[in-house]
Structure 1
Amino acid sequence: MKSHSSTLLAEVRSFRQNHPDVRYVDLIALDIPGHFYGKRYPVEMLEKVAAGSPLKLPQNAVLLGVQGGLFKIGDYCFNDGDPDANRRLVPGTLKPVNWESQPLGQMLITSDGTEAPIEFEPREVLAKVLERLQHQGIHPVVAFELEFYLFDKQLENGLPQFARDPLSGDADDQPNLHIERLSRFSDVLDDMAQTAKDQGIDITVITAEIGPGQFEINFGHCDDGLRAADWAALFCRSTRGVALKHGYRASFMAKPYLQFPGSGMHVHVSLYDAAGNNLLATHQQQPLRHAVAGCLELLPHCMPIFSPNHNAFRRLGGTVNAATRASWGFEDRDACVRIPESDPRNLRIEHRLASADANPYLVLAAILVGLEHGLEAKREPIAPLNEDRNSGTDFPVEMLDAVRAMQQQPILRDKLGAEFVEVYCENKRQDHLAFQQEIHAREYRWFL
């Protein structure tokens, strides 16, 4: 503990020396819907926390709904006295923020690794899954890919407007994959990339996607699952900030336009033993088939994680590469679980179902649980799409059905934690019901 504190203290002091103009640091963590919450600390107080002073925030901040309100979930929120819970600083995450008007820093905090971790905190859920796999001698290597849209900064009657092409000044309203779009939007994209690197995020490839103003960012393969998910979460935060600085609005919303492709979160996962051998490639790749079978078996029960809101379900069965059934295939982007072509050393699965606005900690935890279950059950998967284009199993496409499917799955309750499953499902159920408590103009047009 002493060496851990001394390492954190050295990190804070080095930051202060390198950034003497920074007076405050945002201490942030991701809640269940995937939004950051936290506190803004004077940097001198952060040094005290790094040295061992307590860091406490309300436990129920993790339970916030999409709009930031609290729901009654069991005894949480309204019958528990709203207790504080200990958090700790995540080493290596203290970085400068360059998209605010004033110099600022930010640092991740978490309850995992404390004396009483919050069972339903997303980072803690993933930490427990990774710890269990490590005890089994399984070491995941993970890479996220995130799609997002750029819009004009100003909304019109609450609706998003196409981003303006900096070269012509016209709306970038044509769906295409042209490389020239990277050049035309290079100022904002380059700033996003550099800002991500300044945050310690290993970004690699940037692609112009099919939707107008849509782009994809790839992250490097990482042998620390928590760090890989940290990168995805932090990239969303920094990208929104940088976009506003350049006069745009960046969004990871799953389906902002019905007529154009949605935005997904693709996750590449390979599994290695302590000696660095790829477990999926052994025994004529039989473990790969077992892992795929486990993912597909649990996928219909994980839909509230992969599609965490009403809009995310709109993306399924969309115009491009968005599956409508649990399926798999080799080099097939229509599949939920794709096996990219690779050598045995880099053999992996690419899980393509989650929406870009899903919680990266929970998405990765759900995928790893599917892989773990498959390796344990040792079942054969259904036929790949390469052999049968109709292969696949149904999954829920409406939130309340999805919540019921998740709540009743014993494997998820065991491997993700029964308390987490109950809290998460109730959070999603109440968020969905709250979303429906508004009459939209279309209802009046149709039924008045």
Structure 2
Amino acid sequence: MTAADASPSGSTLAEAEAFLAAHPEIEAFDIVLHDANGIGRGKIIRRHELLSFYKSGRHLPISILGLDIVGEDVHETGLIWDQGDGDLRAWPIPGTLVPLHNTTPPRGEVFMSMYTLDGVKMTSDPRHALQRQVDALAAEGLHPAGAFELEFFLLDNDRGPDGKMQPARDVLDGRKSRKTEVYSVDHLHGMMPLFNDIYAGAKAAGITAETMISEYAPGQYELTLHYRTDVMQAADDVVRLKRIVRAQARAHGVTACFMAKPNEDYAGSGMHFHVSMLDDAGKNVFVEPVEGQWNPTLLHALGGLRDTMAESMLVFAPHANSWRRFASQSYAPVSPSWGVNNRSVALRIPAGDIRARRIEHRPSGVDANPYLVAATVLAGIRHGLANRIDPGPETTGNGYEDGPDHAGIPSDWKSAIDAARASAFLKDALGEDMHRTFTAIKAAEYQRVMRTVSEVDFDLYLHTV
């Protein structure tokens, strides 16, 4: 690799050569770029093509970052014919080359990021949006650490007689349960063959997947991830783990569902983001000197997140279905509240050792893009620290008593789109190009939903109006 062709991502040919030597069994590689919706787009290349990818990158059309949820062009992004749909160059991300578990023939996977042909960051790439906030904090002597929680449903491939999705039968013995089964350990046993493959896939990918929980709806589960001192790696962990869960579920004959709200009668699926802040010496700056006497840095961070939550909700709830998750007493927040050891608030300070003091950011659904979520949360914290924002009084007891009428956040998807498009904060948080791309895609998806005649239309109006 010549200096002129050096990878702008920092990837090296030596990494690819070492991987191929260590994994002679692998025949192909998924090369994956994540778009504004967090969807993995790319190609499957053969083993002999990997070195050339690391030497020269891979040409991909600029339009790949201007696609909606179904993969169609959104011309309002300015990334389609305004650019002649020309090629840019994607480069592998260092440290993301891993083997995939349970594939035939054996395959590997590597993440990539988009650059111009002359090596400049393509700023409609969500990874670059997050890196921009990480770099801004580093210039201020701060380094974010964190982890995401992953909630999901395991569903039967076929719908029930009522046309609705139904919880998957146990892959162990075919047993079915329609009960909530929250925190039932015995209920988890029926899915252990699948969970074992998920853990094996995570281990192969270098992800420390931890606790598995039967969550608060039939067929719903939660998998926690090890805390990272690098939030980019934390975002990589959760997008990769979603792919692992989906693939292993499919291999076991069930469907993994990452919709925010697949069942109107039960709780939806969140993607809570735990975040703390380290100084240059590695000390957690959120830790209070005396337990319970809150550190002003922590309070200002909470204040910034509260102050910017309304205009940021489109990032945390990006789809039409996302907004069905927000309901009173649903374990999803309905106001920009904060509290200690309280799951009814949007910003929770978990109980535990003060050395691990952190903020649990709870608004995001599992359908959100973790790169954009993390970028927006970090920008909100920076905003709070720079302006020394008071978060207001702590919410104690039932945070749902504030109610959606006093929420201070948009009440629906369209309002969230309008708030995001008008937000100077969000434009700065994501960068101008990523902000334009993301909001244009969301506006196009809104129009797609609104012009679609759904079953609920026929149910309500066919024999009535």
Alignment TM class, shorter chain as reference: over 0.9
Provide the C-alpha distance between the structure 1 equivalents of 2:324 and 2:89, rounded to a whole number of angstroms.
38
Matched, 1:433 2:447: yes
- Name the counterpart of 2:244: 238
- Matched with 2:435 is 421
Q: Distance in 2 between matches of 1:101 and 1:159?
A: 32
Name whichever of 199-208 and 264-273 sits farther off: 199-208
Tell me which moved more, 66-75 or 129-138: 66-75
Report if the CA contact (8 A) 1:112-1:124 is conserved.
Answer: no
Partners in 2 of 1:53 and 1:80 — Cα distance? 22
Percent identical among aligned pairs is 31
Residue equivalent to 1:175:
180
Q: 1:270 to 1:74 in 2, by over 3 A?
A: closer
Q: What amino acid sits opposite 1:203 in the alignment?
A: A
1:103 aligns with 2:103: no
2:372 matched to 1:367?
no
Question: Within 5 Å, which residues of 2 pair with 1:6-405?
Answer: 8-50=12-54, 52-111=55-114, 115-155=119-159, 159-166=164-171, 169-177=174-182, 178-281=184-287, 284-317=294-327, 319-386=329-396, 389=399, 390=401, 393-405=407-419
The farther-off stretch of 1-10 and 316-325 is 1-10
Find the counterpart in structure 1 of residue 425 from structure 2: 411
Specify the SS of the correspondent of 2:272.
strand
Q: Displacement, 1:168?
A: 5.6
| TM-score where L is the length of structure 2 | 0.91
Deviates more, 1:383-392 or 1:409-418: 383-392
Is the CA contact 2:271–2:362 (under 8 Å) kept in the aligned structure 1? yes
2: CA distance, partners of 1:196 / 1:74? 35
Deviation at 1:295, TM superposition (A): 0.2
Structure 1 CA distance, aligned partners of 2:363 and 2:269?
A: 10
Contact 1:266–1:352 under 8 Å retained in 2: yes
Matched residues in 2 for 1:164 and 1:58: separation?
42
Amino acid of the structure 1 residue aligned with 2:32: I
Secondary structure at the aligned position of 1:279 is classed as: coil
CA 1:388–1:40 in structure 2 vs 1: closer, same or farther (change >3 Å)? Answer: closer
Query: For residues 320 and 446 of structure 1, do their structure 2 counterparts lie closer, same or farther at Cα, with a shift above 3 Å needed?
Result: closer
CA offset at residue 2 of structure 1?
7.3
Q: Secondary structure at the match of 1:362?
A: helix
Query: 2:27, 2:105 within 8 Å by CA — same for their partners in 1?
Result: no
* Distance in 2 between residues matched to 1:371 and 1:201, nearest whole Å: 27
Structure-2 separation of matches of 1:305 and 1:415: 11
CA deviations over 1:313-347 (Å, ceiling 9, x no partner): 00011553111111110000111100012333211
Answer yes or no: is the 8 Å Cα contact 1:153–1:244 preserved in 2. no
Report the Cα distance in structure 2 between the residues aligned to 1:373 and 1:433, rounded to whole angstroms: 32
From the superposition, tell whether residues 384 and 75 of structure 1 become closer, same or farther in structure 2 (CA, over 3 Å): same
Kept in 1, the 8 Å contact 2:62–2:88? The answer is: yes
* Whole-angstrom distance in 1 between the partners of 2:77 and 2:198: 41
C-alpha displacement at 1:263, in angstroms?
0.4
**Residues in 1 aligned to 2:189 and 2:33: alpha-carbon distance in whole angstroms:** 34
CA distance in 1, matches of 2:173, 2:325: 30
In structure 2, do the counterparts of structure 1 residues 104 and 409 end up closer, same or farther at CA, with 3 Å as the change threshold? same
**Secondary structure of 2:32 counterpart:** strand
- Partner of 1:445, secondary structure, is helix
Please, which moves more after superposition, 118-127 or 153-162?
153-162
- Residue 409 of structure 1, CA deviation: 1.7
Q: 1:74 to 1:96 in 2, by over 3 A?
A: closer
Query: How far is 1:444 from its partner?
Result: 2.3
Q: Are the aligned partners of 1:261 and 1:318 in contact in 2 as well (CA < 8 Å)? A: no
The alpha-carbon deviation at position 49 of structure 1 amounts to: 2.5
More off after superposition, 96-105 vs 338-347: 96-105
The answer on whether the counterparts of 1:259 and 1:319 sit within 8 Å (CA) in structure 2 is no
> Residues 7, 433 of structure 1: CA spacing in aligned structure 2 closer, same or farther, 3 A cutoff?
closer
Consecutive unaligned residues in structure 2, runs of 5 or more: none
Bigger mean CA offset, 17-26 vs 390-399: 390-399
For 1:12 and 1:167, how far apart are their aligned partners in 2? 38
Matches of 2:266 and 2:393, distance apart in 1: 30
CA contact (8 A) 2:305 2:381 kept: yes
CA distance in 1, matches of 2:379, 2:219: 34
User: In the superposition, relative to structure 1, how do residues 387 and 243 fare at CA in structure 2: closer, same or farther (>3 Å)?
Assistant: closer
- After the TM superposition, which of the residue ranges 267-276 and 418-427 deviates more from structure 2? 418-427
Q: Tell me, yes or no, if the aligned pair for 2:171 and 2:193 is still in contact at 8 Å.
A: no
Deviation digits for residues 359-408 of structure 1, max 9, x if unmatched? 01011111111111111111211222117844574211212210111122
Output the CA distance in 2 between the equivalents of 1:34 and 1:173.
31
Q: Please provide the CA RMSD for this pair.
A: 2.2
C-alpha contact (below 8 Å) 1:100/1:241 kept by paired residues:
no
| Equivalent residue letter for 1:335 | V
Q: Distance in 1 between matches of 2:397 and 2:57?
A: 57
**Match of 1:411, SS?**
helix
**Pairwise CA distance, 1:111:** 2.5
Contact 1:59 1:118 survives alignment (8 Å): no
The one-letter code sitting in structure 2 at the alignment partner of 1:436 is M
TM-score of the superposed pair, with normalisation by structure 1: 0.94
Contact 2:372 2:430 in 1 (8 A): no
| SS of the residue 2:458 aligns to | helix
Amino acid at match of 2:256: A
Is this contact kept in 1: 2:171–2:194, CA < 8 A? Answer: no
